[in-house]
Structure 1
Amino acid sequence: MPILPPACQTLCVPLHTPPPPEWERKSATTMGEYQVSHVLGIHEKELYGPIYVGGFKTVSLSSVKLMEEVLRKEEKFPSRGDMSLWTDYRNMRGLGYGPFTEEGKNWYNLRALLNKRMLHPRDAVRYGPVINEVVTDLIKRICYLRQASPCGTLVTDVSNNLYLFSLEGISSVLFEKRIGCLENAIPDGTQHFIDSIAQMFANSAGVILLPKWAQRFSPHWHRYIAGWDGIFKFAGQLIDKKVEEMERRLGEQQEVEGEYLTYLLSNTQLSRKEVYGSVTELLLAGVDTTSNTLMWALHLLSKNPEAQETLYKEVSDHTDILSAEEVNSMPYLKAVIKETLRMYPVVVMNARRNIEKDVVIGGYHFPKNTVFGFSLYAMSHDEETFPEPWRFEPGRWLRDGRERPYPFGSIPFGFGVRGCVGRRIAELEMHLSLARMIKLFKVEPDPTLEEIKPVSRTVLVADRQVNLHFLDRSNQSQR
């Protein structure tokens, strides 16, 4: 078998990748590498080809076919690679691991329990009425914020408001109760939780790029730890309230029934420590995935009125409040979310590590414990897989006779048994909320803002506050 050369040697003639927009090239020289890691994946593919040895001795892959080869050869207990940045915090605080941090057989058994009542499509359907209640309150909040603006249509800081919606939605599923995130007055601690997520992610790079011995001397470390403290404190308080409620009902000899958290707490196979670790990680993932994708979807639709009008025609044929079942008959709605996730994947990098045996990928032999890094952003912007990759084109996902994209070209929720446990819930939240917003409002960009650019904060976010105009469909002449 040939031996893979380092990144300074090109393996083969690189596949041609069209240059990204001019602002992307400029940003790579003016922003930190961490913030533009999604763009660097494209540039490195141009320089070194689709497979090379990158930083941290990771084998970097930017080829869809090579990534598929790795994933098709997954072991029974797939490993994401080095998660010590997250596990170090949990070990320091004596906290339990969850689906993102656990490994091996322990992970497999944990996922088997967490998958129930969440991952199967029929499980997601049961949460439709609860999520629709949250969507109704999101619409009310949009109306409230519009009225407070001078022009009567502008909603400022759309990202943060969608964070509140996502937090309310996933909390309603996990904790089986509304927590009031979409009220006019935000509950104490809610905004701190959202800020803690941003703080944890924003300081991750400043920690991980340092050697272990130096991390705890960095100001990034203290901010990183404070962010995790805020995340676990918020989740722990909600779990504690549910535990108190269950204990009270048991003390009164009442039956204890309920959905997700009740199921986990009453399951004797999970310790309380594992419940805290798992629910906190599910809460964290559920907020970021839905809120960021919805923000990018609204942004893209505001910039592409023809696509927005096509979506409006589809959703206007249905009832005001969609059921989970109705979404299945709305292919363009689903395509808008798929195309958004292709252009702005929540996570721009993913990884796998073969921990049990050697593996051959792309004709190269790799020993055990090799980490393969996937440049998801580079792959989803490869013109060989997606013609005109920088163009927002939901129609490429429709089953209307045209050739559909290669299945592994965009896998925002992962693949196989290590795929996102909350995928069905996240998709349901995005479909139900986007359909209702577009049916009620025509969304337009704020012309006073400069172009919105994506930056990597572990997850892909906007580089500035996003404002949008929400015009009533029933009164298009209001501005």
Structure 2
Amino acid sequence: MKLPNGPQAPSFIQMFQFIVNPLSVLEKCAKRYGDIYTLNLKSPVVFISNPQALQHILTNDTKDFSVPSEGNKPFEPLMGKHSVIMASGNAHRRQRQLLMPSFHGDRIRCYGEVINRVTSQIMSQWEVGKQFSVRDGMQAITMRVIMQAVFGIYEGDRATELEKLLGSMLDAGGSSPLKAAFLIFPVLQKDLGAKSYWGNFLRERERVYQLLNDEIEERRASPDDSRTDVLSMLMAARDENGEAMTNVELSDELMTLLTAGHETTATALTWALYWIHKFPEVREKLLAELDNLNENTDFSTINKLPYLNAVCNETLRIYPVGILLFQRKVEKPVSLCGHDLEPGTLLYGSIYSVHQREDLYPEPKKFKPERFLERQFSPYEFIPFGGGARRCIGMALAQLEMKLILTKILKNLDLDLIDNGEIKPQRRGLVTGPNRPIQMLVKGKRAVNRSLETVG
């Protein structure tokens, strides 16, 4: 079977380059080979960045293509075997059907109160005249939002221990290219004792699952219909056969929501605050929009603000946290970008490469929110949350979370970048993030109406 052209370096060299600097590999290959090419990563994989080809893949997702479980194997140590990300076929459909009601529009709005309250709590720790790490601040906010809105755990020893363990476990799961190798290569996953890298990760994971199981067992023993967190909704959910999720399934789905919803949203918020303060004209235009909010403004209005939406979209476009769609396998002969691909061919849609296309986004390296006011992009041209049967379940929550947190911070605090120098993206585990810490100074509190204190 003849595959599209691509680099001819040995597989281990291509794999090493892709682990260390995936964005550089994607950029060089797109420039040299165009919309479709083949990389040899353990086995040959075809990369595609043509919107029409991606539309064909995503609209025929369960008919002509499948999602091979081996392609998502690196996620298993973090999310477990029963995660919706690891499932395929009927099992995947069942998991999505059980999860979806928790992320319905009406339910999402209920989480707005939690987002606002948590943001205020973390902001109160930032002192005027002192600097703080943007990433640490955003991770603190998104972690607590997950703990309260998803896990439904607010305070107490279990909450404190879980928050600490989850943060440590996610960092151990891949905050650098080197750590990412432990997820990508199972041969490295050796338990050499509590002090070894992987051994410590396994023990922290075991304790997290024990704490989650204890929480689930307590709720089963004392049901409370008034609870509105995701865990409570998942415990009450039933599939088409009337069956509920097991404790292990519940724990794996909670870990999936945490991994996919905490680190990614914190990274996007970190980038957003960097871009907003790097370009004064962006900040001024955004503040002009936000300062028009009054005490009767509700969450849905904030969610629809045009320039705020444009800033968030441009943040997600220029350096998407997830750079690839989930891997697909061709099930029926298909022609993509002029190439006939046979069953068994593995594919990756390149989110990053689509977002860097000059024909879609002129001057793609420039941060220009206005591009999202000037035209509307299709779901195959702007795809930060993926698409098809595997589109991110928490997309609506992540978008609302970004907008509410940015609104709360920008309306209430006057911030400034400590270092206005350029920051590039780099691999952070299975996703990407800034290549160095971003520090900001709290110059003071803004003298604006206190409208957001009563938003709801």
Call closer, same or farther: CA 1:342–1:255 in 2, change over 3 Å: closer
- 2:359 maps to which of 381, 384, 407: 384
Q: Secondary structure at the match of 2:275?
A: helix
CA distance in 2, matches of 1:259, 1:187: 18
In the TM superposition, what are the counterparts of 1:177-326 in structure 2 within 5 Å?
177-179=153-155, 187-188=160-161, 190-201=163-174, 202=176, 203=178, 205-207=180-182, 210=185, 214-216=187-189, 223-224=197-198, 226-227=200-201, 229-231=203-205, 233-234=207-208, 236-247=210-221, 249=222, 257-267=227-237, 268-319=243-294, 323-326=298-301
Call closer, same or farther: CA 1:391–1:105 in 2, change over 3 Å: same
CA distance in 2, matches of 1:446, 1:343: 22
Q: Note if 1:71 corresponds to 2:84.
A: no
Q: Gapped runs of 5+ residues in structure 2?
A: 9-15, 238-242, 449-456
Aligned to 2:75: 86
CA distance in 1, matches of 2:268, 2:279: 16
Q: Secondary structure at the match of 2:125?
A: helix
Cα distance, 1:473 vs structure 2: 5.2
Aligned to 1:345: 320
Give the letter aligned to residue 197 of structure 1. Answer: L
Q: Single out whichever of 320-329 and 302-311 deviates more from structure 2.
A: 320-329
CA distance in 1, matches of 2:273, 2:261: 19
Percentage of pairs with the same residue: 24
Q: Single out whichever of 450-459 and 291-300 deviates more from structure 2.
A: 450-459
Q: Note if 1:59 corresponds to 2:46.
A: yes
CA distance in 2, matches of 1:387, 1:234: 46
Cα distance per residue 1:129-156 (max 9 Å; x no partner): 22221122132123xxx24xxxx1422x
RMSD: 3.1
CA distance in 2, matches of 1:189, 1:269: 25
Q: Note if 1:176 corresponds to 2:152.
A: yes
Contact 1:80–1:353 at 8 Å: present in 2 too? yes
CA distance in 2, matches of 1:89, 1:465: 24
Aligned to 1:133: 117
Cα distance, 1:209 vs structure 2: 6.0
Cα distance per residue 1:98-129 (max 9 Å; x no partner): 111111110111110101121x3222112222
Q: Secondary structure at the match of 1:472?
A: strand
Q: Secondary structure at the match of 2:332?
A: coil
Aligned to 2:451: none
Cα distance per residue 1:308-363 (max 9 Å; x no partner): 11110111111369532222441111111111000121111223323643322223
Aligned to 1:16: none
Aligned to 1:107: 92
Q: Note if 1:43 corresponds to 2:28.
A: yes
CA distance in 1, matches of 2:219, 2:189: 39
Q: Note if 1:456 corresponds to 2:440.
A: no
Cα distance, 1:232 vs structure 2: 5.7
Give the letter aligned to residue 56 of structure 2. Answer: E
Give the letter aligned to residue 411 of structure 1. Answer: I
Aligned to 1:433: 405
- 2:19 maps to which of 27, 30, 34: 34
Contact 1:197–1:231 at 8 Å: present in 2 too? no
Contact 1:235–1:283 at 8 Å: present in 2 too? no
Give the letter aligned to residue 49 of structure 2. Answer: S
CA distance in 2, matches of 1:459, 1:322: 35
CA distance in 2, matches of 1:179, 1:384: 50
CA distance in 1, matches of 2:190, 2:213: 33
Give the letter aligned to residue 291 of structure 2. Answer: S
Contact 2:418–2:440 at 8 Å: present in 1 too? yes
CA distance in 1, matches of 2:325, 2:267: 18
Q: Secondary structure at the match of 1:394?
A: coil
Q: Secondary structure at the match of 2:102?
A: coil
Call closer, same or farther: CA 1:473–1:395 in 2, change over 3 Å: farther
CA distance in 1, matches of 2:34, 2:262: 35
Contact 1:446–1:469 at 8 Å: present in 2 too? yes
Call closer, same or farther: CA 1:258–1:475 in 2, change over 3 Å: closer
Give the letter aligned to residue 159 of structure 1. Answer: R
Call closer, same or farther: CA 1:208–1:58 in 2, change over 3 Å: farther
Call closer, same or farther: CA 1:170–1:257 in 2, change over 3 Å: closer
Give the alignment's TM-score, normalised by structure 2. 0.84
Cα distance, 1:215 vs structure 2: 3.5
- 1:165 maps to which of 130, 141, 144: 141
- 2:347 maps to which of 354, 365, 372: 372
CA distance in 2, matches of 1:239, 1:207: 26
Aligned to 1:25: none
- The runs of 4+ residues in structure 1 deviating greater than 6 Å are none
Call closer, same or farther: CA 1:360–1:179 in 2, change over 3 Å: farther
Contact 2:66–2:328 at 8 Å: present in 1 too? yes
CA distance in 2, matches of 1:418, 1:85: 16
Aligned to 1:154: 131
Call closer, same or farther: CA 1:359–1:228 in 2, change over 3 Å: farther
CA distance in 1, matches of 2:247, 2:167: 24
Call closer, same or farther: CA 1:72–1:333 in 2, change over 3 Å: same
CA distance in 2, matches of 1:6, 1:305: 44
Contact 1:293–1:346 at 8 Å: present in 2 too? yes
CA distance in 2, matches of 1:243, 1:288: 27
Cα distance, 1:453 vs structure 2: 2.3
Aligned residues: 426
CA distance in 1, matches of 2:113, 2:213: 22
Call closer, same or farther: CA 1:227–1:396 in 2, change over 3 Å: farther
Call closer, same or farther: CA 1:293–1:208 in 2, change over 3 Å: closer
